[in-house]
Amino acid sequence: MNFWRQLPKPFFALAPMEDVTDTVFRELIASYAAAGKLQVLFTEFMSVEGFLHDIGHKKVIHRLYVSSREREILKSRGIKLVAQIWGSDPENFFKAGQQIAEQYDFDGIDINMGCPVKKIVKKNACSALIKTPELAKDIIAATKEGSGLPVSVKTRIGFNQVETDNWIGNLLEVNPAAITVHARTQRMLSRGFADWNEVLKSVQLRDSLNFDTMILGNGDVSSYNDGFEKSKIFKADGLMVGRGVFRNPAFFSDQKILEPGQRIQMLKNHLLRFQEEWEGKKSYSILKRFFKIYVNSFQDATSFRADLMTTNNYKEGMQVIEEFEDSLAAVPSELTQIPV
């Protein structure tokens, strides 16, 4: 069943992000989400070539890992989980799609055609596929055939320049279940402002060609309300949120700003769950990219974060957190919040 067609509009999705949207972070985001505010989550993106290779498989398979705890939370809240994959060979997409459908329990597969990183582009994958539209269509068709699951695409509005009409029109020809339009070109990376008029253009193109592909807009969604307004103005069926969740880890909750104590508790939960799931499998240093997400916008956040960055293991991390909690408890609450 194509779950995309069953979602309420506008629906919200958390973007797939490397070394960020693992099972622990997805679990935390979902657990803090208010009812009906988050509909779709994605895994980190996984190479189909690595997945199908005897040695490479061991290096990439963790990207598809879903803990039983996350699974329970998603099921209870009706949140869909999609595996994101990347590569450049249609045959590998067919095989990978087939294995993912047979061996895992995902609601769909998403193909990354938007990552702008040079080492990936040099492999003729991700955003490089914008320059080879026929290959891109073959990849989508192969994934659909191999998996039998709803297949979506995350992409951009062009490579060196905007070419929404030709590129999105090309993708629509094979009728993917959904297309997420990051409203920047590959050349822009994450710089400049996302041009949401190109999202509207994608929707209008879809409608004029009479396809039923869902169109998600992505880029500079600063808050839940901002996303809701963008959907009304630019007619997107859904919104994908990436860096917005870094500014507010409870982006999908009913709280506009988390109190310092709530942010610290969320950080503690992340450390504890990361240790439970990944100790001995992933480096503790990965957690350091999350410290700024939780530790900001309150008194002494900068020095607290600096102390956390010097830690090298879970015990040290928890010690720094507990010491800061002790100091925070001694300060009147009205003095701990910094206006943002």
CATH number at residue 32: 3.20.20.70
Is residue 255 domain-resident? no
Q: Choose one of 221, 247, 273: the last residue of a domain.
A: 247
Is residue 253 domain-resident? no
Is residue 293 domain-resident? yes
How high does pLDDT run on average in the chain?
A: 94
For the chain, counts of helices (H) and of strands (E): 15, 9
User: What domain count does the chain have?
Assistant: 2
> How confident is the prediction along the chain (340 residues), in pLDDT tens digits per residue?
899 999 999 999 999 999 999 999 999 999 999 999 999 999 999 999 999 998 999 999 999 999 999 999 999 999 999 999 999 999 999 999 999 999 999 999 999 999 999 999 999 999 999 999 999 999 999 999 999 999 999 999 999 999 999 999 999 999 999 999 999 999 999 999 999 999 999 999 999 999 999 999 999 999 999 999 999 999 999 999 999 999 888 899 987 777 888 899 999 999 999 999 999 999 999 999 999 999 988 889 999 999 999 999 999 999 999 999 988 776 554 434 433 3
Residues 268 and 241 in one domain: no
What pLDDT shows up at residue 337? Answer: 44
Percent of the chain as helix, strand, coil, to the nearest 5: 50, 15, 35
Q: How many CB atoms lie within 10 A of CB 164?
A: 21
What pLDDT shows up at residue 330? Answer: 64
Residues 77 and 143 in one domain: yes
Residues 143 and 283 in one domain: no
Domain of residue 282 covers 260-335
| Distance from C-alpha of 70 to C-alpha of 75, rounded to nearest angstrom | 9
Residues 309 and 213 in one domain: no
What pLDDT shows up at residue 332? Answer: 54
Residues 186 and 324 in one domain: no
Residues 151, 179, 188, CA angle at the centre, nearest 5°? 130
Q: Choose one of 218, 247, 276: the last residue of a domain.
A: 247
Residues 275 and 233 in one domain: no
Asked if 14 and 41 count as a contact pair (C-beta separation under 8 A), the reply is: yes
Residues 11 and 147 in one domain: yes
Asked if 176 and 129 count as a contact pair (C-beta separation under 8 A), the reply is: no
Is residue 309 domain-resident? yes
Is residue 116 domain-resident? yes
**Closest to 13 measured CA to CA, from 47, 37, 46:** 37
What pLDDT shows up at residue 338? Answer: 36
Residues 83 and 146 in one domain: yes
What pLDDT shows up at residue 213? Answer: 98
What pLDDT shows up at residue 259? Answer: 85
Q: What is the CA radius of gyration of the chain?
A: 20
Q: Choose one of 247, 274, 303: the last residue of a domain.
A: 247
Q: Which residues are catalytic?
A: 115
User: 10-39 burial, b if ≥16 CB within 10 A, otherwise e?
Assistant: bbbbbbbbeebbbbbbbbbbbbbbeeebbb
Residues 230 and 281 in one domain: no
